Amino acid sequence: MWKLLCFWGRCLLQGWQLGHSVSAFIQVAAFLVIGTLEWRKGHEDVRKKWEDPVKRWAYAIFVVCFVFSAGIVAPYLQYHDLELRNKELKRQIAKAVNPLRQQAVKLGNQLVDFVDQERANGKSDEDIKKDYILRFDNQVKTTVGMMDAAGLHSDAFDMTTWWSPDARSIRACGDSMRRLASTLPDTDR
C-alpha cells in the first residue's frame, strides 16, 4: 500500500510541476501583453476587460494540465523509467551469470568424469573421497555458494559439500550442477 501511495504522490508532484509551469508561462505572456498595453497608456479599459478572463483561463489550463499530467503522463514516465532500469538490470545479471554458467558446466563435467575415471581405475569410495577433497572440494563449495546466491539449489550440493561425499553423491552433484547451470542465460542480453 505504501508503494502505491508513493507512486501516486510522485505522479501528483509531476502533475503539479507541469501544471504550474504551463500556468506560469500563460500568466507571464498575459502580463507582457497587459504591460505593453499599460505602457502605451490609455488602455486601462483593456486591462480591466482581460485581467479576470486571463486569470480564469490560466487557472483552468492549470487544472487541465495537472489532471492530464498526474493521471496519464506521470504514470507513463515512471513506468518507462522503471522499464529501462529493468532492462539494464537484466543485462547486467545476464552478464554476471554467464561466467557462473560456464564455470558450473565445466565443473559439473569434471566431477562426472572424475568419478567415472576413479571407478574405472578400481578405487574405493574412501580413496575417491580423499582425491575429491584434494582436487575439487574448495572449488565445488565456491561454485555451489554462487549458484545458491543465484537461486539455484540442489540437495546433491548439500550431500557433497556438507556431509561426507561418496562417489554417488559427487556424481549427483556434477549432474545437478550441469542441469541447473543450463537454466542460466548463456549470452549477454
- pLDDT tens-place string over residues 76-94: 878 888 888 888 887 777 6
Domain containing residue 136: 96-181
User: Is there a contact between 109 and 174 (Cβ–Cβ < 8 Å)?
Assistant: yes
The last residue of one of the domains, among 52, 86, 120, is: 86
Do 80 and 46 share a structural domain? yes
Domain total in the chain: 2
Residues 101 and 69 in one domain: no
Residue 109 has pLDDT above 50, yes or no: yes
- 76 with 122, same domain? no
Residue 185 pLDDT greater than 70, yes or no: no
Q: What is the pLDDT of residue 111?
A: 85
Same domain for 101 and 164: yes
Helix, strand, or coil (residue 79):
helix
